[in-house]
Amino acid sequence: MSEQEQTLGADEPLTQKAEGVTSETYKCPSCGNFLKFDPATQKLHCDYCGTEREIVAKPAQELYYTALSEQDYQSWGGVKAYKCPVCGAETMLEEYQTSSVCPFCGAPNIIERDDLPGLKPNAILPFSIPRQEAQGYWRKWLKKKWLSPHKLKKEAKVKEMRGVYIPVWTFDSNVNATYEAKLGETYTVVVGSGKNRRTETRVRWFHVSGSLGERYNDIQVEASQYVDAKAMNKIGGFDTVNAVAYDDDFMSGFSAERYSTGLDDSWEYAKESIVADLKEKVKARYPRADRVAYINVYPVYSGTTYKYVCAPLWISSYRYRKKDYGCVVNGRTGKAFGKAPISPIRATLLGIVIAGAVALVGYLAYMFLF
């Protein structure tokens, strides 16, 4: 019996996913309702009768990166492409799903379009935080916004959270690099005499060179048009090392954003991160150096591989006093981030406290010195 036959029930059609996912693939064998992926159980689940179906997850495979990699085209198969006329987000839905609302900005009447050109994801990080739990994490985040108006916690009306897989590239590479640097060590000397006697700080410069080798694993480059780097840093990134092979089953009931930054450009960003890390490693080799004139590194990359990962994010917004504020929750860890209004009164009080603290420190320093 094939692996797919083991996964599907006896009464379900054995649709080959490689040729496109049909609505029959996700029909519940008990009641005919649709099966959706449940983050809590990691299974396909029928909300109507409770029937569940196991998902057999396979390891994600690294793909070798070459200058021609991005020229490939692979249709997702079994999905429909949509574009939002308001925010421009491009998303994919399973073909049996219908949508009239953008999962990112909530705008109505998103436009169905032909399949988008580009690469198909080969890896996915399934949601592990259910919707209700994600809303709880968002509420906890909101309660910590102590500069926000007091009534915000009670009056904020959150809209339904929408589960979206956002695009993330990951890169592995062996890096051998040579380097040259001009570093400095500060020291003090006493010069002059009498009233002109004083201490001066000087720098003793020295040149260094050498080589180093590093293996980099899963350097992440987020390729989402909607989620910026600040939000990604706040929600902690994703555990892409635990990604599994892309499977349409994990997409059932969710949508996926198409990447806005291509593979080649993302590799350039990854190399910038690698070079910055190499410079830090060079500096760490010379602990007495506390000044840097320059550090030049010349890396050579080999055995570079990549994954195109769909990473889970709960996206929503809330309304407070006729204004909308966005919020996102990491679908793997529950870390939340968003925008919140600032209370002018609380901000003013904070400013007064800070100014008072600075004045007190200045007064104590004056009394100590004089």
182/263 Cα distance (integer angstroms) = 35
Beta-bridge partners for 112? 82
Whole-number pLDDT of residue 155: 53
Nearest Cα residue to 292 out of 202, 207, 210, 212: 207
Q: Are 329 and 336 in contact (CB under 8 A)?
A: yes
Whole-number pLDDT of residue 90: 80
84/259 Cα distance (integer angstroms) = 14
Whole-number pLDDT of residue 19: 41
Token representation of residue 223: 């390729």
Helix (H, G, I), strand (E, B) or coil at 240: helix
Q: What is the DSSP string of 261-323?
A: S-HHHHHHHHHHHHHHHHHHHHHHT-TT--EEEEEEEEEEEEEEEEEEEEEEEEEEEEEETTE
228/220 Cα distance (integer angstroms) = 13
Whole-number pLDDT of residue 227: 79
Whole-number pLDDT of residue 11: 34
Whole-number pLDDT of residue 4: 33
List, in order, residues 6 or more apart from 86 with CB less than 8 Å away. Answer: 102, 105, 107
Within the chain, strands assigned E span: 35-38, 43-46, 52-53, 63-64, 79-83, 90-94, 111-113, 123-124, 157-158, 162-191, 198-222, 244-245, 255-257, 291-320, 323-330, 336-338
Q: What is the DSSP string of 29-49?
A: TTTSPBEEEETTTTEEEETTT
What separation in angstroms does the CA of 218 have from each of 11, 147, 242? 41, 37, 10
Whole-number pLDDT of residue 29: 86
Token representation of residue 9: 């029930």
Whole-number pLDDT of residue 295: 97
Q: Are 318 and 158 in contact (CB under 8 A)?
A: yes
Whole-number pLDDT of residue 20: 46
Residue range 11-65, pLDDT digits in tens: 333 233 434 444 556 788 888 888 899 999 999 999 889 999 999 999 999 999 9
Instruction: Answer left, alpha or beta for residue 2, where phi above 0 means left and psi between -120 and 50 means alpha.
Output: beta
Q: How far apart are the first and last CA of the chain?
A: 89
Radius of gyration of the chain (CA): 27
Whole-number pLDDT of residue 31: 87
Helix (H, G, I), strand (E, B) or coil at 222: strand
87/304 Cα distance (integer angstroms) = 34
Residue range 213-250, pLDDT digits in tens: 999 999 999 998 877 777 888 888 899 999 999 998 99
149/126 Cα distance (integer angstroms) = 36
222/294 Cα distance (integer angstroms) = 29
Tens of pLDDT, residue by residue, the chain (370 residues):
333 333 333 333 323 343 444 455 678 888 888 889 999 999 999 988 999 999 999 999 999 998 778 876 666 666 777 778 777 778 877 766 666 677 777 776 677 776 667 888 999 999 999 999 998 898 888 777 655 555 556 655 667 788 999 999 999 999 999 999 999 999 988 888 888 888 888 999 999 999 999 999 999 999 988 777 778 888 888 999 999 999 989 988 898 888 889 999 999 999 999 999 999 999 999 999 999 999 999 999 999 999 999 999 998 876 666 677 778 899 999 998 877 655 555 556 556 666 666 666 665 655 555 5
